[in-house]
């Protein structure tokens, strides 16, 4: 049913993007704004969130499991001021992890202002710098929201000072340096302009959005020819692709004939079948949406992100948003192990290729190229988590595949080979500072800044600059060196000439030499050889990596050997078998652990490490070839 809705005057419209580092409370704040706007009752929001502690906008399973936002989302709230004026606020929730920066870059074009969330204890972090820089490049002035001020170790004033220093470092203009500060607790649902004046709701935040965020400047272009750029894509089983964007000029109407222009300049005629506007968490079908507002369009297939929907009589394309290039690539290939095809539904190179092509339609920071053979694809992304989320989604959809070791993408700048350089921030206890410095010193890291967070916490804040390839396998070693107490975050700074060698994995691996079921008897006999990734009863095959050797170099072992049955009484009992606790290897941990001659085999039910060449004689022959060359 089509809803007849009056066009919102641009003066009463606000488009706001909420940006922050991961886990600083963006999605929690949006949930509270939805609740306090009066659109939903608390029971409805709890049901939408999937439980008492769920988040509404973290809608897919991976987002709720990991507690992070992966894809940007739109919603709208209506706020009535104490004077009785009604405003519509379009909220854009953005990812906080650096690997999903492509999502942030493309959706900032829909916003007229930003809410910059900063944790009252942690202050600005690497991703804060990244998203803030992108918003400043678009001329968006931030409202600084210091969240989690109710934390026992909160230091809100120090966090505000650090935000100011960051803005100065980013060469922000003087009017941006004079930013408004709001202190808030998103979890408790309150905000205040002064910590000495407590509050019990988010009204000060709504008032500052109305007062500080400018109305969309293109709202005065209602009489111009239509211009809308697609920044997000959605899909419905009933209507196909749904194109989401901001109307930059004119009015978009239902059943309107338009021209769709792709970034290369070619255009084609289409007709809009439905125009959807945002109301709370829902999309309602309306007759028209005017310049300055956000909307979703149905009936324009085929359409991609970056396309311009424009007037049929006077088509004018909008400039496409430049997206930062990927920094990491991996080889995706068909799984050819002995256990392939037993778990998954999609195992062929054609099916994998089609799935990657589908991902390219909405994942603007991803690149896919042909590999060395027809069974391989070279997939490039922003980071390990960016590619890991893609692989995890494919695994849950029923795909089986193998992926190789992540490699950084080198560039040639002014005739010199350069590599990506990252900023790494580590918060760790004072007692672990030496271990952290020693670990990063071996990986060609340069200490940029060191400070103490507070006198009572006993934590030290360290900032480093290091090559991106030095981060491979660093997280597990960092957690081991600090007894699991270190907190790490990183983001790409730029490109610099290639540094020297970075230490590789110090220990070798234990490689199975037979196919079968692992036995406690065999694992007991190998107790002192290292740490195992498998447990008794697991199915293994020749060439599978079953554990980490306790010394350098690979060791071929038999983990399926059973105890010979005789009629002689044994002096000991099988119950006395000693098996070390298994090291659980997640998908990201397995990807970090790899060396050049190894693969991760991913299936819907398991994640296994294996050698590229499964047969031991073939691995030896390959090693001799490399040594002779």
Give the residue numbers of the binding site for GTP.
Answer: 23-28, 147-150
Find tokens 């392939």 and name the residue.
340
Give the annotated binding-site residues. 23-28, 147-150
Q: Measuring CA to CA, which residue among 17, 63, 117, 129 is closest to residue 385?
A: 63
Given 3-state DSSP classes, what are the helix, strand and coil percentages for the chain, each rounded to the nearest 5?
25, 30, 40
Three-state DSSP string of 80-144 = ECCCCCEEEEEEEECCCCHHHHHHHHHHHHHCCEEEEEEECCCCCCHHHHHHHHHHHHCCCCEEE
Tokens for 28?
Answer: 């929690």
Find tokens 């000029």 and name the residue.
249
Q: Which residues pair with 290 in a beta bridge?
A: 251
Tokens for 190?
Answer: 């309150």
DSSP string spanning 261-301?
E-TTS-EEEEE--EEEEEEBTEEEEESEEETT-EEEEES--
Integer Cα distance of 90 and 109 in angstroms: 13
Q: Which residues pair with 77 in a beta bridge?
A: 89
Say if CB 546 and CB 585 are below 8 A apart: no
Tokens for 448?
Answer: 């940029």
Q: Is the dihedral of CA 15, 21, 24, 27 positive or negative?
A: positive
Q: Is the dihedral of CA 600, 602, 606, 610 positive or negative?
A: negative
Cβ partners under 8 Å of residue 178, min gap 6: none
The total number of residues written for the chain in this structure: 629
Strand, coil or helix: 511: strand
Integer Cα distance of 191 and 187 in angstroms: 11
Say if CB 14 and CB 112 are below 8 A apart: yes
Residue 470 is given by DSSP the state G
Tokens for 583?
Answer: 């090291």
């Amino acid at each position: 049913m089509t809803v007849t809705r009056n066009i919102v005057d641009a003066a009463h419209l606000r488009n706001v993007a909420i940006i922050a580092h991961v886990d600083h409370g963006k999605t929690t704040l949006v949930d509270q704004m939805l609740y306090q706007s009066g659109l939903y009752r608390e029971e409805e929001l709890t049901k939408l969130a999937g439980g008492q502690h769920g988040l509404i906008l973290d809608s897919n399973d991976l987002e709720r499991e990991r507690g992070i936002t992966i894809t940007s989302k739109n919603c709208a709230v209506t706020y009535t001021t104490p004077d009785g004026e009604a405003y519509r606020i379009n909220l854009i929730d953005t990812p906080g992890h650096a690997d999903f920066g492509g999502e942030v870059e493309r959706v900032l074009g829909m916003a007229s202002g930003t809410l910059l969330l900063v944790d009252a204890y942690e202050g600005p972090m690497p991703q804060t710098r990244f998203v803030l820089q992108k918003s400043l490049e678009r001329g968006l002035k931030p409202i600084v929201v210091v969240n989690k001020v109710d934390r026992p170790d909160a230091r809100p004033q120090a966090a505000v000072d650090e935000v100011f220093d960051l803005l100065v470092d980013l060469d922000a203009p003087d009017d941006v340096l004079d930013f408004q500060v709001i202190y808030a607790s998103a979890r408790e649902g309150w905000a205040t302009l002064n910590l000495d004046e407590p509050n019990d709701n988010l009204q000060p935040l709504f008032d500052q959005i109305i007062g500080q965020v400018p109305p969309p400047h293109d709202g005065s272009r209602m009489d111009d020819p239509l211009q809308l750029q697609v920044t997000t894509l959605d899909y419905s089983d009933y209507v196909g692709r749904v194109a989401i964007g901001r109307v930059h000029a004119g009015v978009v109407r239902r059943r309107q004939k338009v021209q769709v222009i792709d970034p290369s300049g070619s255009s084609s005629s289409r007709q809009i079948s439905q125009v959807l506007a945002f109301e709370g968490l829902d999309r309602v079908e309306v007759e028209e949406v005017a310049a300055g507002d956000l909307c979703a369009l149905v009936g324009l297939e085929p359409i991609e992100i970056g396309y311009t929907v424009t007037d049929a009589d006077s088509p004018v394309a909008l400039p496409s948003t430049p997206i930062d290039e990927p920094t990491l690539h991996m080889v995706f290939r068909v799984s050819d192990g002995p256990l392939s095809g037993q778990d998954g539904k999609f195992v062929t190179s054609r099916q994998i290729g089609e799935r990657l092509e589908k991902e390219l339609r909405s994942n603007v920071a991803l690149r896919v190229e042909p590999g060395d053979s027809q069974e391989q694809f070279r997939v490039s992304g922003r980071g390990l988590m960016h590619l890991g989320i893609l692989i995890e989604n494919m695994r849950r959809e029923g795909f089986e595949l193998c992926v190789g070791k992540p490699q950084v993408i080198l560039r040639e700048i002014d005739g010199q080979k350069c590599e990506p350089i990252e900023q790494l921030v580590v918060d760790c206890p004072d007692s672990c500072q030496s271990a952290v410095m020693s670990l990063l010193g071996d990986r060609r890291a340069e200490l940029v800044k060191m400070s103490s967070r507070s006198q009572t916490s006993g934590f030290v804040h360290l900032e480093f600059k290091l090559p991106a390839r030095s981060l491979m396998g660093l997280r597990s070693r960092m957690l081991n060196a600090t007894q699991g107490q270190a907190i790490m975050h990183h983001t790409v700074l730029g490109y610099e000439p290639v540094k020297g060698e970075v230490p590789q994995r110090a220990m070798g691996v234990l490689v199975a030499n037979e196919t079968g079921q692992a036995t406690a008897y065999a694992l007991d006999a190998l107790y002192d050889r290292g740490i195992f990734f498998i447990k008794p009863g697991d199915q293994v095959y020749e060439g599978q990596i079953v554990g980490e050797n306790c010394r350098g170099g690979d060791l071929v072992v038999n983990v399926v050997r059973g105890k010979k049955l005789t009629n002689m009484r044994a002096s000991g009992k099988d119950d006395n078998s000693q098996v070390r606790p298994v090291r659980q290897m997640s998908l990201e941990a397995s990807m970090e652990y790899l060396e050049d001659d190894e693969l991760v085999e991913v299936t819907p039910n398991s994640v296994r490490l294996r050698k590229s060449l499964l047969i031991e004689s073939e691995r030896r022959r390959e090693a001799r070839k490399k040594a002779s060359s």
